[in-house]
Structure 1
Amino acid sequence: MRYDLKVPFAEKDQAKKLGARWDAARKRWYIDEGLDPADFARWQPAPHDASSAAVSAPASRRAAPAGSEGTVQVGSRFVELPRMCDCLPWEDCDACRLQAWPK
C-alpha cells in the first residue's frame, strides 16, 4: 500500500534518506509497504487534508450515483438544435457545413 506524505521542500533530503520517493506526476512524496510509516509520522497529512488519502481513484473511475447509468444529464439552459442530417455531431460533414453557414 502506498502512503502519501506532506514533506516541506526544506525537509525533502531528510525524507529521501529515510526512503521516501518523489512522484513527479502527482508532485508529492510517498512511501511503499516495505517502510515503517512511524518513521515518517511528522510528514503524515492531517485527516482533513485533501492529500491524506493513500491512493484515491481518478475522477473518471469513481462510481456514478445510483440510478444515473445510461441517462443523459442536461442543464436548465440546454437547447436542442435541429439536426441537418444523420452524421455524427463531431464529424465535419459537407451537407451540415453548407446548411449551417450560408454565404
Structure 2
Amino acid sequence: MRLNLKVPFAEKDQAKKLGARWDAARKIWYVDAKEDMSAFSRWSPTPHDASTDTAQTPKRVAASARSASSGVQVGSNYVEHPRVCDCAPWDVCDRCRATALSL
C-alpha cells in the first residue's frame, strides 16, 4: 500500500534515508509497503489537507480586496460589473466614464 508523505525540502534527505521514495511525475514523496510506518508519522498528511499533492492551491482573495483593486481581474478573481448605460462597450460616454478602464 502506498502512503504519500508531506516532506519539507529541508527534510528530504532524512526521509530518503528511512526509505521514502520520490515520485517525479506527481512531485511527492511516498512510502510503499513498509512494515513499520511509525518513522514516517511526522510526514503523514493530516485530515485538513485537501490533497496529498504538493501542488500549490490558489489563495482566496477577500471580496473587499477584489473590489478595492483597480487592475483588470482575470480568472477566478473576475467580477462582472453591471452595465451603466446602453452605449457600445468600446465607446465611453459621460455616464459610464467612471467605470471605464483607462488606456
Q: TM-score band (shorter)?
A: 0.3 to 0.5
TM-score (norm 2): 0.47
Higher relative contact order (CA 8 A, sep 6+): 1
TM-score (norm 1): 0.47
